[in-house]
A and B are shown apart, each in its own frame.
Chain A
Amino acid sequence: GESVGLHLPTLSVQEGDNSIINCAYSNSASDYFIWYKQESGKGPQFIIDIRSNMDKRQGQRVTVLLNKTVKHLSLQIAATQPGDSAVYFCAENSGYSTLTFGKGTMLLVSP
């Protein structure tokens, strides 16, 4: 499959652990943030989003935290499963209808 994860930061966890993936964004004026999951050889899948007027948003097994003071975004995955193994990256909407994407973090989940 396509090696999107080559030379990316890697987080290795055991099945059942909680995972935390971090992202620093660049534009303090960004008003909307998205987390995507990308499996090898596939297109990115939307996981969860958050607007800048929120600090926290929860989905099914996932939580996104936004700290605007230090321009930091995190994705927490509860009870990580082998199927969660993928590259995760954040995106920020800084205007003009386009998104700026981070390089991503590879999550490896071992049984």
Chain B
Amino acid sequence: DGGITQSPKYLFRKEGQNVTLSCEQNLNHDAMYWYRQDPGQGLRLIYYSQIVNDFQKGDIAEGYSVSREKKESFPLTVTSAQKNPTAFYLCASRTGQSGTQYFGPGTRLLVL
């Protein structure tokens, strides 16, 4: 069963806490992306990675960190420096052959 998985579906963060969102793909895609979605707004790019062990900041990288140690995995850490983390987080991946990005089911992050 191929695709992109994200976990958990819902995540709760306490003040001052770092939390990590998981994204895994078995599509053999080279590039992976993290987006943040707020109600009534378009997707905003947080970080992306085109190859293992390399990643670039997107438009709203402050307060977030990523790693890309394996091709299949691109975890996102929401740090305590992110003062407004409540949002729907979407992971996507893309084969190098086309521009189409395919999305995971998303993780909703809520602050306690």
Interface-located stretch among A44-52, A58-66, A75-83: A44-52
Query: Which A28-46 residues have C-beta < 8 A from chain B?
Result: 32, 34, 36, 41-46
| Contacting pair A4 B37 (CB below 8 A) | yes
Indicate whether B41 reaches chain A with its CB closer than 8 angstroms. Answer: yes
Contact present for B100 and A34 (CB under 8 Å): yes
- Of residues 91 to 108 in A, which have CB atoms within 8 Å of B's CB atoms? 91, 93, 97-99, 101-104
> Which of A46, A49, A103 is in CB contact (< 8 Å) with B40?
A103
Please, which residues of chain B bring their CB within 8 A of the CB of A99? 99, 101
Interface check B45, CB cutoff 8 A: yes
B105 and A34 contacting across the interface, CB-CB below 8 Å: no
Contacts of B4 in A (CB 8 A): 43
Q: Chain A residue with minimal CB distance to B45?
A: A98
- A4 x B42 contact (CB < 8 A): no
In angstroms, Cα B103 to Cα A52, docked, is 23
Q: Which residue of B lies closest to A49 (CB)?
A: B100
A67 to B8, CA, bound (A): 41
Most chain A C-beta atoms within 10 Å of own C-beta, residue among B37, B94, B105: B37
With A34-B99, A49-B100 already in contact, the answer to whether A104 and B42 are too (CB < 8 A) is yes
Q: Is the CB of B104 within 8 A of A4?
A: no
Q: Which residues of B contact A (CB under 8 A)?
A: 4, 6, 31, 33, 37, 39-43, 45, 48, 50, 58, 88, 90, 94, 98-106, 108
